Amino acid sequence: MLVFVVATYLFLSCQGRPTEVKQVAVTDTLPKKRIKDTISITAVGDIMLGSAFPSKLNLPPDDALNSFKEVDSFLKGDVVFGNLEGCFLNSGNSTKCKGINPNNCYAFRMPDRYAGIFKQAGFNVLSVANNHVGDFDHKGRKNTAKMLDSLQIHYAGQLNKPFDLFTVDSVKYAFVAFAPNENTVDIRKIDSAKLLVARLKALADIVIVSFHGGGEGAKFEHVTRQTEIFYKENRGNVYAFSHGVIDAGADVVLGHGPHVTRAVEVYKNKFIAYSLGNFCTYGMFSLKGPNGIAPLLQLKLNAKGDFLYAEVVSVKQDKINRLTLDENHAAFQKIKALTDVDFKGHGLKFENNRISLNEE
């Protein structure tokens, strides 16, 4: 941008009269803020690489080193996100398993050394808002934070760290995570969530919201638009929550918790994934039927945070082969089918493993 500044130079003649006036155009060198045209966010669902509780027999035979080898070429982007389902902790018992046979208790602690596997795979943002990060109480939560801090992996969702602010490639991001569980930022308090998101939008270019909510399993594939009750627990109204935080300024909403793939939606030009399913979950997780398939989303947003398109890499898991690519693209087909049912007239096009806006 040019700013014209008039600089007047008076050259006096020998008679003392001005003989020349010059106007000089001065270039304004102050840079005008501009963020990149296309923002890349890669997002997956639940990740738990193996638990040393109650026995090291629940750790994978390769010590989790090859957990992501089939998909590591897809784990790229400005933001690479997943839900950390469990804590990092080398030892200790879980109080939630008191009086219960540990082999029938779902409490997950990954060895500290597993944290580096996340970093090496490319993850730079993780949610710690869920029902398993607190399986080993304060000790587990504190050590998990310590490990993630040491690796410079951004995380949020506990009451002592509801959000994180960071910059990638000159873009300022705010990441905030919610859940209906103890010590997490509450998904059920939608008005409070909206206030927090609005505050973060004033501080960041792009606001990413994550939630852990809804019922679990094949019976809970659909977005009901109602409060979901599971095992007599209020797991939130994920539809009302997602719309509420977008109204408040969120640019993308990434859901997890049901352990199955759910529909997607674009609301006010912002993308919502209602559940990203089980992505990489070794051990006591059920991988039967829809629990064994999941999407790896490669989202593209414009500079305003509006949805452009999403590439869907379908993956599958089983107890023997673990995480592999799915040549049948079942997760993509599942997302399409559920979106057609749950959001009739959605205005999205599902074609060649890509989700885009239907411009017709």
* Domain chopping of the chain, boundaries: 38-357
pLDDT in tens, 59-100: 999 999 999 999 999 999 999 999 999 999 999 999 888 878
Residue 100's pLDDT is 82
Task: Kindly give, in sequence order, each residue whose CB lies less than 8 Å from that of residue 273, ignoring residues fewer than 6 positions away.
Answer: 43, 253, 254, 255, 262, 264, 295, 297
Buried b (16+ CB within 10 A) or exposed e, 273-307: bbbbbbbbbbbebebeebbbbbbbbbbbbeeebeb
The span from the CA of 292 to the CA of 67, in Å, is 15
For domain 38-357, the question of CATH label 3.60.21.10 is answered with yes
The span from the CA of 87 to the CA of 115, in Å, is 10
Are 78 and 175 contacting, i.e. CB atoms less than 8 angstroms apart? no
Torsion, Cα of 212, 213, 217, 220 (10° steps): -150
The span from the CA of 179 to the CA of 201, in Å, is 20
Strand duo 125-127 + 154-156: pairing: parallel
Residue 24's pLDDT is 41
**pTM score above 0.85:** yes
Residue 3's pLDDT is 41
Residue 8's pLDDT is 37
Residues of the chain with confidence (pLDDT) below 70: 1-33, 360
Task: Kindly give, in sequence order, each residue whose CB lies less than 8 Å from that of residue 138, ignoring residues fewer than 6 positions away.
Answer: none
Handedness of CA 81, 82, 83, 87 (dihedral sign): negative
DSSP state of 96: G
The position carrying tokens 């074609």 is 351
Residue 103's pLDDT is 75
The position carrying tokens 């095992």 is 231
Cα–Cα distance list, 332 to 243, 295, 301, 314, 329 (Å): 23, 7, 20, 6, 6
